[in-house]
Chains A and B, each alone.
Chain A
Amino acid sequence: MYLNRKYIPIVVTIMLFVLMFAVGSFRYTGFFSFQVLMNLLIDNAFLFITAVGMSFVILSGGIDLSVGSVIALSTMISASLVQQHGWSPAIVIPLVLMMGACFGSVMGAIIHYFKIQPFIVTLAGMFMARGLCYVISIDTITIDHPFYTAMAQTKIPLPGGNSLSISAVIALIVVVIAIYVAHYTRFGRNVYALGGNEQSSLLMGLPVARTKILVYTLSGFCSALAGVVFTFYMLSGYGLHAVGFELDTIAAVVIGGTLLTGGVGYLLGTFFGVMIQGIIQTIISFEGTLSSWWTKIAIGLLLFIFILLQRMLSARRSAQKQS
């Protein structure tokens, strides 16, 4: 069977997911059910949304370390405005989303116009957002606004007695839109071109500045949206929410087969990358005797395997080019 080499990482990812699901189904009773899959969507809804934003950033050849802090900041702002100032969620949610987008675009502008590495700029953004959470409050703010509790508890029934939460539906919509944007719009093509080679894209006359800033704006927006979904999930705002989340997100994108040097990867791969992370956690909780830190070790191991795989593939490609 002929298989294009550029599809190998994504095929490996999908096969790995299927394999893990199969192994889980054989080992544990009650694992093989549609609801387990749905729970993966429900419990990782915010991870899907951030991973989508991160995929675009990584495809463009950058990195965004601020996502976890922006999530925390959006939960904090939502909680503070809704609970302590009595604002309506109808104003607060758009406001939070705008804030995330602005935050991202400022970082993007600094990265582009002053030519500082994205790593260090988003690191500053991460400190900044995390610190601003504590400026608002050091304690947890619990949300009991009827809108938020309704969003948290509503279940959308699916055939066969299964159900999905609203957050999961939002996540699915985001993933579908992202796949469309990445592969069927001009912006998506520009992102791939930029990640492939910035110099060439500039010479080709592509709008490098606009694309770069938009990519970080998109990532900021996605993080803020993930923060809103996170508030539905946790029903609280807290400065320590989503600590270390940026690493989970980057890991999900890499496991999804996206090349960290930019320009190569698929949004669908990111989807399965998140699913794999979710299923590791599910397997560990089904196992019962394993502790939560095995998740980290397993993810580290997977990261290693995927990075090595990508390395081998790209090494072979460059060897071909030379010969």
Chain B
Amino acid sequence: MSKVYKHHLFWPLCVLAALLLFNLLYSPDFFSITLHDGHLYGSLIDILNFGAPLMLVAIGMTLVVATKGIDLSVGSIVAISGAIACLTISKGADQNAFGLVTFSILLAVGLSVILGAWNGLLVSVAGIQPIIATLILMVAGRGIAQLVTDGQIITVTSSSYSYIGSGSLATLPFSIFVVALALIIALVLTRKTSLGLFIESVGCNPTASRMAGIRATVVIFSVYIFCGVCAGVAGLLLSSNVSSADGNNAGLWYELDAILAVVIGGTSLNGGRFYLAGTVIGALIIQTLTTTIYMIGVPPEITLVVKAFVVLAVCLIQSETFRSSIRYRRQKKQGSVKKEVARRVS
């Protein structure tokens, strides 16, 4: 029993289950899923579909956080990649042409690679603190996105482009498959190769890992590129879902939501260990929370207050000092040393 209790996914899953249970009690048809013209409809599908960009960004962020870094620029990369893709498509003669859409997607992803590499370069080669290094692109990137869209909202009428964000494959939204692909790539790379171990060791102690023969700079550099690509693809999903790109507001606050998802998932901001599955559940929790708040009719802005409490609670639980102070108090109350010893041994 204590094994289940100690598992890192236990608490995130509990929170998710509690949220879903609340929704079930509040509106019994929350779980109903209907099939319409080969598409599945229902609140659960919506949560998966709308949560897809966040999950994607959070997966990239997890690896960055695992190296004791942070990437604040993901929101801006989301905006830039969506803007570039929509601009390219809107300039084309036939917006539905497959070649044009493919080209625009490749262009956006290529640009995200460059932006991610820029971050990686600043952090790994120039040795600037991650918060500051990515702050540059966060500020300037928003400006670049507005420059690309000229401050307007670019609308596209391309059914092939909107397939990415709102089309469905085998009755499920296509975006879910994109997320699944990214998750599988990340899982295979980090759990089946030694790359995961390298990332964790760099997060624990970059100098020591360099001494041990790990090329810390290369690991950090590639992690930021991966995060950039994830953010770029998330930007494509987001802009194709609404068939438009908004340089001002697309991806605003995404970095914060993504960090929140990572932290809820059990990854410590101190680096050194990471849980990709936890992150995905964290992102789902955030999306379910948002959906729930919309559903019960509370003004959506109040979500922020709830999020604040969630962040604080999760951080307090992770804080060693806080846990030990609670433990100390409990110990004093019960006065049984035996239990404590037994708990530590297990």
The 28 listed contacts between A and B (C-beta, < 8 Å) are A114-B316, A114-B319, A114-B321, A115-B320, A116-B318, A120-B259, A120-B269, A123-B256, A124-B312, A125-B308, A127-B305, A127-B308, A128-B304, A131-B305, A131-B308, A134-B301, A138-B301, A247-B135, A251-B139, A260-B132, A292-B151, A293-B144, A293-B151, A296-B139, A296-B140, A297-B147, A311-B126, A315-B127
Interface string of A111-150 (1 = CB under 8 A from B): 0011111011101111110111111001000000000000
Q: By the criterion CB–CB under 8 Å, are A250 and B135 in contact?
A: yes
Binding site for B on A (CB under 8 A): 63, 110, 113-117, 119-121, 123-128, 130-135, 138, 239, 247, 250-251, 254, 260-261, 291-297, 299-301, 303-304, 307-308, 311, 315
* Total A-B Cβ pairs within 8 A: 128
Give the CA-CA distance A128 to B137 in the complex, in Å.
26
B299's contact among A110, A126, A134, A292, by CB below 8 Å, is which?
A: A134
Contact B305 A135 (CB under 8 A): yes
Q: How far is the CA of A126 from the CA of B144 in the complex (A)?
A: 25
Q: How far is the CB of A66 from chain B (nearest CB, A)?
A: 10
Across the interface, name the chain B residue whose C-beta is closest to A125.
Answer: B308
Contact partners of A126 in chain B: CB under 8 A = 308
Establish whether residues B136 and A307, one from each chain, have CB atoms under 8 Å apart when the complex forms: yes
Counting from the closest, the 5 A-B pairs by CB-CB distance are: A300-B140, A296-B143, A131-B304, A131-B305, A134-B301
Interface pair A131/B138, CB less than 8 Å apart:
no
Q: Which residues of A contact B239 (CB under 8 A)?
A: none
Which of A260, A293, A315 contacts B143 (CB under 8 A)? A293
**Are A296 and B142 in touch, CB under 8 angstroms?**
yes
Interface residues of B in 294-311 (CB under 8 A from A): 299, 301-309, 311
B108 within 8 A of A: no
List the A side residues contacting B312 at CB < 8 Å: 110, 121, 124
CB < 8 Å: which of A63, A299, A301, A304 contacts B131? A63
A251–B146 Cα gap in the complex (Å)? Answer: 19
- Further pairs besides A121-B315, A308-B128: 14, Cβ < 8 Å: A110-B312, A115-B320, A120-B315, A121-B312, A124-B308, A138-B301, A250-B135, A251-B135, A251-B139, A293-B143, A296-B146, A297-B147, A300-B137, A303-B135
Is chain B's interface secondary structure helix, strand, loop, or mixed overall?
A: helix
* Complex: A113 Cα to B304 Cα, angstroms: 24
Chain A residues, Cβ within 8 Å of B140: 296-297, 299-301, 303-304
| B residues less than 8 Å from A300 (CB atoms) | 136-137, 139-141, 143
Q: Tell me whether A116 and B315 are in contact in the complex, defined as CB-CB below 8 angstroms, given that A260-B129, A296-B146, A300-B136 are known contacts.
A: yes
Question: A307 touching B321 by the CB < 8 A rule?
Answer: no
- Minimum CB–CB distance from B314 to chain A (whole Å) comes to 9
- Asked whether A138 lies within 8 Å of B299 as measured between CB atoms, the reply is yes
Given A293-B151, A307-B128, A311-B126, verify A131-B302 contact (CB < 8 Å). yes
Q: How big is chain B's contact interface, by range? A: 35 or more
Is the pair A254, B143 in contact by a Cβ cutoff of 8 Å?
no
Instruction: Find chain B residues with CB under 8 A from A63 CB.
Output: 131
Set A116, A127, A293: member contacting B147, Cβ < 8 A: A293
Q: Which of B138, B146, B306 contacts A247 (CB 8 A)?
A: B138
Contact partners of B137 in chain A: CB under 8 A? 300
B-chain residues with CB within 8 Å of residue A116 when the two chains form the complex: 315-316, 318-319
Which of chain A's residues has its CB closest to B142's CB? A296
B308 and A128 contacting across the interface, CB-CB below 8 Å: yes
B33 to chain A, nearest CB (A): 32
Please name all residues of chain A whose beta carbon is closer than 8 Å to the beta carbon of B299 when the two chains form the complex: 134, 138
Please give, as numbers and ranges, the residues of chain A lying within 8 Å of B256 by CB-CB distance. Answer: 123, 127
Q: Is B281 an interface residue (CB 8 A)?
A: no
Asked if B143 contacts A261 (CB within 8 A), the reply is no
In the assembled complex, B133 has its CB within 8 A of some CB on chain A: yes
Q: Chain A residues near B127: list those with CB within 8 A.
A: 311, 315
- How far, in angstroms, from A247 to B256 measured CA to CA in the complex? 13
Contact of B144 among A251, A297, A303 (CB under 8 A): A297
Q: Which residues of B contact A254 (CB under 8 A)?
A: 132
Chain A residues near B70 (CB, 8 Å)? 119
Could you tell me the distance between the alpha carbons of A133 and B303 in the complex, rounded to whole angstroms?
A: 12
Contacts of A297 in B (CB 8 A): 140, 143-144, 147
B residues 156-192 touching A (CB-CB < 8 Å): none
Q: When chains A and B are docked, how far (Å) is the Cα of A213 from the Cα of B308?
A: 20
Chain A residue, CB-CB nearest to B118: A304
Q: Which A residues touch B22, using CB under 8 A? A: none
Let me know if B259 and A123 touch, CB within 8 A. Answer: yes
